[in-house]
Amino acid sequence: MKNILPKSELLLKKSRPIDKLSTDEAIFLMADEQQNAALEVKKASKSIEHAINQIYKHLSLYKKGRLIYVGAGTSGRIGVQDGVELFPTFNWPLGRLDFIIAGGNKAIIKAIENAEDDIKYAVDEVKRKSINYTDVIIGLAASGDTPFTCKVLEESLNKQALTIAISNNPNGKILNFGKVKIILDTKEEVVAGSTRLKAGTAQKICLNIISTIVMAKMGRVKNGYMNELVVTNEKLRQRKKKIDKEIKKLDFEKD
């Protein structure tokens, strides 16, 4: 049986190759493709809404349940980028946040050979982190077929965790292990196989939406302000004063 590559591995055909374009043509092409990534997120709005509602219910029900991001390579780094902002922005407890990255923490800044194929490490990490029914696992895979990420979600599903599978491939295997499935069908890239581009943009927008709205539902946004902002420097001290002032003002006007 012939292996069919995910479209993210293929070259964008509606334009000449990027290295054959003038600089201004290349800029406009890439900007247009980034807009298309956002459109794919809009198309997935119903499944994203379902994910938000399920995550909110789960984290509200299980007061010690964790939000755990899972991925390999670019997808793993995008998960980390979203997750690490939850404490400073929303004061989400660090004990309720975690990451499982192919190749471990060192893979965040350096590509680790064969890490995305290491399903043994995936199984070991699920055991080591004691993933259970109280947890929410968000797995991201541009190809949808990354063995490491698929295995973490499969093992987590077997542990009765709430699994969210995000794939840029409508036929991705990862979707088999998601209680909630989100498809961001971004198709071919300007540089074939470079999913740090359109696929990565769609994943980041999707995670921004999910985490922000979940945090808002958890009461960590008030009147559009970061009412739980963690103050760590002078700039943030001034911002917190302004936020508290604006919230009090809006509450007073409402009364």
Cα separations (Å) of 215 from 64, 144, 211, 220? 15, 27, 6, 5
pLDDT score of 1: 39
Average pLDDT of each block of 10 consecutive residues along the chain (255 residues)?
70 90 97 97 98 98 98 96 97 97 91 89 97 98 96 98 98 97 96 94 98 97 91 89 82 62
- Domain count of the chain? 2
Does residue 208 lie within any of the structural domains? Answer: yes
Within this chain, do residues 227 and 124 fall inside the same structural domain, yes or no?
no
pLDDT score of 52: 98
Strand ranges for the chain from DSSP E: 67-71, 97-101, 136-141, 162-167, 180-183
Does residue 2 lie within any of the structural domains? Answer: no
Within this chain, do residues 169 and 227 fall inside the same structural domain, yes or no?
no
Does residue 83 lie within any of the structural domains? Answer: yes
Within this chain, do residues 208 and 228 fall inside the same structural domain, yes or no?
no
| C-beta separation of 167 from 186 below 8 A | no
Cross-strand pairs, 101: 71
Helix H segments across 44-133? 45-61, 73-83, 86-90, 119-128
Give the integer Cα–Cα distance in Å for 107 and 140. 15
Within this chain, do residues 238 and 169 fall inside the same structural domain, yes or no?
no
Q: Which of 9, 25, 40, 85 is catalytic?
A: 85
Do the strands 67-71 and 136-141 form a parallel or antiparallel pair, or are they unpaired? Answer: parallel
Within this chain, do residues 48 and 113 fall inside the same structural domain, yes or no?
yes
Within this chain, do residues 117 and 228 fall inside the same structural domain, yes or no?
no
Within this chain, do residues 107 and 177 fall inside the same structural domain, yes or no?
yes
Give the integer Cα–Cα distance in Å for 223 and 79. 27
Q: Per residue in 172-186, is it b (16+ CB within 10 Å) or e — as a string? A: bbbbebbbbbbbbeb
Does residue 134 lie within any of the structural domains? Answer: yes
By residue range, what is the domain housing residue 231?
222-255
**CATH code at 34?**
3.40.50.10490
Beta-carbon contacts of 134 under 8 Å, excluding residues fewer than 6 positions away, are: 58, 62, 64, 65, 66, 161
Does residue 162 lie within any of the structural domains? Answer: yes
pLDDT score of 120: 96
Within this chain, do residues 146 and 233 fall inside the same structural domain, yes or no?
no
Beta-carbon contacts of 10 under 8 Å, excluding residues fewer than 6 positions away, are: 187, 188, 189, 192
Within this chain, do residues 129 and 148 fall inside the same structural domain, yes or no?
yes
Does residue 73 lie within any of the structural domains? Answer: yes
Q: What is the dihedral of CA 47, 49, 52, 55, to 10 degrees?
A: -50
Q: Which of 40, 116, 155, 228 is catalytic?
A: 116
Does residue 116 carry a catalytic annotation?
yes
Within this chain, do residues 182 and 252 fall inside the same structural domain, yes or no?
no
| C-beta separation of 153 from 169 below 8 A | no
Within this chain, do residues 149 and 251 fall inside the same structural domain, yes or no?
no
Does residue 85 carry a catalytic annotation?
yes
Give the integer Cα–Cα distance in Å for 237 and 230. 9
Does residue 211 lie within any of the structural domains? Answer: yes
Coil, helix or strand at residue 133: coil
Cα separations (Å) of 32 from 71, 200, 208? 27, 15, 20
Structure tokens of 178? 């998601």
Within this chain, do residues 54 and 177 fall inside the same structural domain, yes or no?
yes
Does residue 1 lie within any of the structural domains? Answer: no
